[in-house]
Chains A and B, each alone.
Chain A
Amino acid sequence: MSIRGLWIVSLSSSSFGKTLYSRKFLTVEKRAKQKLSSAYVPIPTNEVFVRSLLQGLGLQGNTSEFVKWRDSADKQVQLPVMELKTSEGDLWPVLVLDHYGVLYCCLPLVENTYEGRKPSLIHMPSVSVGFAVLLSLANFTGPVYPTMKEVSMRKCSEIESFLTLSMPFGQPCDTDWQTVCELQTLKNETTSKMDQKQPAWKPHNYKGKSTLNVSISEYVRSVQFDQPWFPDVTEVFGNVIVKAMMEGVETDVILPLSHAQPGHQLQLESLTLHPCVQASVLDLDTSSLERPGMSKKLRFSPPLHEFILCQYKVKYSKVAPILGVYKLRGEQTVELLLQLKLAEGIKNAFDTCEVLLPFSHRGVIQRQEVKASQGNIKEGENRDCLIWSLGSKFPSKTLEASLTGKIYFEHTPCPKSHDESFIKGNNTYAQVIFKCIDYTVSGCVIDPKNIQVNPPCKPKISSERFVSSTDFKIWNCFGDVPFSIPR
């Protein structure tokens, strides 16, 4: 399962469409020619590739223009895979990931020809391999990349070194960039002096004081509309991140996930696990990890770098942690009312808790006569939004806070973001942004005292958790919402 070529293309306004990096693998290309024969389409120059890519994604030229080969209603769509038009034929399957405002693309080798409809992605393992390669590359280059107008020498060298070790001939042997970086430091070492094999995912052994850092990052997103036919939708999900610095080649850690309140059940579902989690604890038939229970245990042999141990979703059937009603109407002058209430049982202590009310679709705020029951209000930098900072807690007795008043707008509307054409008139929302340290809505907690390490050692264990909002919107009940009616 090999890759024919890789590309990194900028989407930033200052260097839109610029190829930040590209690489082709000639031996794979030769195999492609041999296997595909007349169906073979050569990789074009970067300029042609990028032009075709942007056109295929609808990012170049007049985006509302209908292009038959790209936009036809009966076109076989296989996102995130696409087909690019070149003068020598259709280049397929081109895998495209959009990360940090940069396009990461690769062309996996497909060794079989086909007639008519393209084969399904489930029958193309090379696409999955390409997927892992692109994710790895994106994580390796990181969010710094898009801000760089030119690729620095150092970054280019780093990517070249990474690919030389990871996939010198287009077939990846390691897509974990942290492991590859550790491997680069092996230098002149010949072989380990130990009798057992040094894990490839842990090229070095650690010497020093053992430490184990575990953290639970939980997120809540919610859509609320205060209409009887539109029930609120709230999702709670999170991941457990581990960094273990422990001596020895093979170290086993048993990490228990339990509910913070004794006697309560931890209801996790949709669990995905890091490959280092051992199979022996996974009971497929009973799916013990997802059955409601007091605690779950994960047993794993950790690498030396930070990694996501597991990702989960919570079976959440309660109301949203912060309930809200948003009422806004008017034209040049609007009256608004926003009422928030902290749900029962939710910890009333926030690291941050604020509400953003965007008005860019209405124009610049001329003046506002808005009062909050607590906290303070300020206008955004461009005077096209209000930010209400509630402080660190809701009033203890009522657990409620409100915002009410009038806003006057100037006549000139702000330039509208293309992605939010729906936001106009009374179609708008209040976005709640909060973060709560040392708390999770699910109750998920890791008790350091119950962590077991084998061979026994006494690592310094730190455990932390937080919950924060993401995409938490309360829509104006006098407008509309861009969703279909949920069940």
Chain B
Amino acid sequence: MATSVSGRDVVFGKHWLYALTFWRQNPKEFLFNLDIKADTFHLDVLRDLCNDEVDDSCKNFLLTLLQENVTLLLSDEDRLEQTVGSLQSIFNQLAGTEKVQLKCQFLITIATILLGGEFDFSSSTINGQLISFKDLLIEIVCNTKKEASLLRGTACKCLQEIEISYPGITEPHTEVMWNSFQQDTSPVFQSYASLISVILTHLVQEKNHSSRNTIEIKRTGSSKQVLFPSSTLSSEIEVFPIVMSLLDQLKWMTSASVYHVLNNLVEVVKCTSDLLPTIFKTWLPKLTRTSYVPLFHLAFILQQEFGSDLFTSREEQMLMEQLISCANHPLLTVAHRLLFLDWVHVYVENRGQFSPWKIIPPRLIDMFLPSPFDGPDVQGKKLWILASSEEYRTGKHQFHSEYKARKILRDGQFHLLVAHLEGIKKLVLSGDGYRPVNSFFRTLFFFYSKHGSPFLEVEIQKLLLAVMFTVPELSFRVVDFIECLQEQIPHSSLPEKLVSATVNFVYERPVSSILLHLHCYLELLRKASTLPAAFCFPKKILSFLMEVIKTLSSEDKMDWLLGNILLDVCQSIIQHHNLSLLYKEIGELLYLIMTTFNEADIKNRAKMYYAAVTSLASTKVKQIFQNSTHSQEVTQALSNIVDAVPG
């Protein structure tokens, strides 16, 4: 990988891109393959960073490499100290150059190493280097006339990251940074604003949480509120003008920075009694209509934090209407719409907490009906919202007319829910893949968990039987559906009804028609067998299995997987049912398997089960099967006992 530049080997050389790709796949493996140790590798990297003949793009890559792998490459304090010192030295050497972006990358790397390593501020070495680096950054930030704006902006970001990691560490420099912010007219002013907003947030939070008795709030004649007593600061920090100045500058900032600063100011206002949330009022229209997702989200954060202290009822309503509109906007990506639909769902389900949105206007309810242009994920999500909405459940608006139009007399709203699932169902039945199937089963489960009506129980049975008939591979999903019902809605009788329906469905099918997907149906029967006999009809199952085995070809009877699934069903029956009532049927079935199957493992297992059933007391057999969760455990338990049984 190394190639020579002026006679010296360079770590990655011309092929640094390929090295980067391999490195990022797995750094430890990369080092292992090159037979390089981590503790020496960083020295090679530093050497190349000092090398003037190494390309700047390569150096940027090496710096990123250091940023991402501090814990791997700099695992002790000495190495860390050495690396930081070297990087600062190289940075200083770049002082007279125009390599601004490279200098920025050096600052970011030093900050990342100091903050991202496993060592913390209490270590004297890191402490010293961090303070020293912080001072360097302050110097850069304040030198608005000489330092390149990009570099100052990066220095602000580094300081911000340091402040986030160690809240309050940059507080003593707030005043100089504030002055620099006011002087700076370059586009990186927003980095100053962002930093100051973080410092301010930490200050007010500390004020609220601090137990120090020396903190007092002073009021001046002009109603300014100060945070820290003059005894702890060289000058007092006034909150109000800082907040208003930042708000004033927001219009010049990028959306991402606006979000960050506003978000911090929300925290400041929350913690400062003299600052009212109405200072955000002028931003509400913009936040409500914006296409920038984080800012749109901020509108909801403001609504949750301040409610009627900031929003009028109409404004809250407009916000919700905009959310519903965006969730249906054809020009937004599917990901946008799914995100917004998720938000809508929360508001629909928790409406008691968010006044005054107690009633969703009818025209907005319509927007939750799946449209032909919606994919299965969006359709499913909309149906969830519909099922959760009070309006839909009570049918208290124009759906009444729809019920009449469709001549639906009872349970109209559930009829419509199921009717609107038709689109996804068609995709499922056509075998149209993974996403419609997931959406279908999850939506059905959600409907039932929300409403659990007898009508839905009947419809669910019909739908699932249709699915099993048309797409037998989905029988595993039906099993899962039953298990989910049992776990999440234990009082429901639907699992028993489903099991009965599916057992009858399988039993009544000609054996030849199900052979192609036999595994699927057997899994269904295995699950069904775990329920009481009144629902799963174990004699029917056993009779059915006899027919299946008689129909199998000799090739099928060598299938290890098939044999095991057949025996799993037998095991399930033995485990959960009264053997004395099934003795003849289970015995004949096991005998048939052990004598006709040509696979040694299957024969052996069937033989053991047969011996157990015919030789041991049914209570003992049941106990063995119930104590063991896997067939292997059962086999093991049985082999110890059955061997001892004569014959």
Contact = CB atoms under 8 A, between A and B. Distances in A.
Interface of A: 1, 19, 22-24, 26-27, 29-31, 45-47, 58, 63-64, 66, 68, 71-75, 77-80, 96-99, 120-123, 125, 127-129, 131-132, 135, 151-153, 156-157, 160-161, 164-166, 168-169, 171-176, 179, 183-184, 186-192, 194-203, 219, 221, 223, 233, 235, 237-239, 269-275, 277-279, 282-285, 287, 301, 308, 310-311, 313, 418-422, 424, 427, 471, 480-487
Contacts of A201: 252-255
A21 to B, nearest CB: 8
A285 B314 contact: yes
Given A282-B285, A284-B285, A308-B291, A151 B184 contact: no
Contact of B161 (A169, A223, A274, A310): A169
B284 A284 contact: yes
A197 to B, nearest CB: 5
Contacts of B283: 279
Given A190-B186, A223-B373, A122 B144 contact: no
Contacts of B298: 125
B260 A171 contact: yes
A101 B293 CA distance: 22
A268 to B, nearest CB: 11
Contacts of A174: 254, 256-257
Interface string B292-332: 11111110110000000000001100100000011011111
Given A186-B187, A284-B285, A421-B430, A73 B370 contact: no
A44 to B, nearest CB: 10
Given A272-B289, A311-B329, 5 more contacts: A26-B116, A132-B294, A169-B112, A175-B255, A274-B291
A201 B71 CA distance: 36
B343 A58 contact: no
B628 interface: no
B243 interface: no
A64 B423 CA distance: 20
A467 to B, nearest CB: 14
A46 B433 CA distance: 27
A190 B295 contact: no
Contacts of A166: 256
10 contacts: A23-B64, A27-B161, A30-B115, A30-B165, A45-B25, A125-B297, A132-B293, A186-B186, A239-B331, A311-B329
B518 interface: no
B105 interface: yes
Nearest to B249: A197
Contacts of A301: 251
A23 B477 CA distance: 37
Interface stretch (B211-219, B436-444, B508-516): B436-444
A1 B345 CA distance: 23
Interface in B248-301: 249, 251-260, 263, 282-286, 288-298, 300-301
B185 interface: yes
Given A26-B70, A179-B254, A233-B372, A275 B111 contact: no
A242 to B, nearest CB: 13
B333 A97 contact: yes
A471 B371 contact: no
Contact of A173 (B60, B157, B366): B157
B147 interface: yes
B25 A191 contact: no
B145 A199 contact: no
Contacts of B441: 71, 73
Interface in B500-556: none
A487 B366 contact: yes
A169 B108 contact: yes
A99 B61 CA distance: 26
Contacts of B318: 284-285, 287
Interface in B175-195: 183-191, 194
B484 A72 contact: yes
Contact of A483 (B111, B258, B291, B423): B423
A282 B188 contact: no
B300 A122 contact: yes
Contact of A484 (B25, B146, B420): B420
Contact of B335 (A71, A77, A97, A480): A97
A189 B186 contact: yes
Interface stretch (B3-11, B148-156, B609-617, B636-644): B148-156
A9 to B, nearest CB: 12
Nearest to A174: B254
B592 interface: no
Nearest to B109: A168
Contacts of A310: 291
Interface in B397-454: 402, 419-424, 426-427, 430-435, 437-438, 441-442, 444-445, 449
B604 interface: no
Nearest to B347: A122
Contacts of A156: 17, 20, 61
A179 B188 CA distance: 12
Nearest to A287: B318
Nearest to A182: B187
Given A23-B68, A186-B150, A195-B185, A128 B294 contact: yes
A487 B325 contact: no
B488 interface: yes
A131 B286 CA distance: 19
Contacts of B559: none
Given A72-B484, A186-B148, A422-B427, A272 B161 contact: no
A164 B100 CA distance: 12
Contacts of A233: 371-373
A176 B291 CA distance: 13
A50 to B, nearest CB: 9
Contacts of A308: 291
B291 A272 contact: yes
A287 B484 CA distance: 46
A173 B255 CA distance: 8
Counting chain B CB atoms within 10 Å of each CB, the highest count among A171, A198, A219, A270 belongs to A270
Nearest to A120: B346
Nearest to B297: A128
A26 B65 CA distance: 11
Contact of A235 (B145, B186, B330): B330
Contacts of A273: 286, 289-291
Nearest to A283: B285
B100 A187 contact: yes
Contacts of A168: 104, 108, 154, 157-158
B206 interface: no
B632 interface: no
Please provide the 3 A-B residue pairs with the shortest distance between their CB atoms, ordered closest to farther. A26-B116, A484-B422, A282-B285
Nearest to B156: A173
Given A125-B263, A156-B17, A273-B290, A187 B150 contact: yes
B187 A122 contact: no
Interface in B360-402: 366, 369-373, 377, 381, 402
Contacts of A485: 419, 422
Given A78-B342, A168-B154, A487-B369, A173 B433 contact: no
Nearest to B445: A73
A19 B57 CA distance: 21
Contacts of B67: 26
A486 B369 contact: yes
Contacts of B52: none
B101 interface: yes
B35 interface: no
A45 B441 CA distance: 33
Contacts of A66: 476-477, 480
Contact of B293 (A131, A186, A187, A192): A131
Contact of B112 (A27, A68, A199, A422): A27
A27 B116 contact: yes
Given A31-B165, A486-B369, A419 B433 contact: yes
Contacts of B339: 80, 121, 127-128, 131
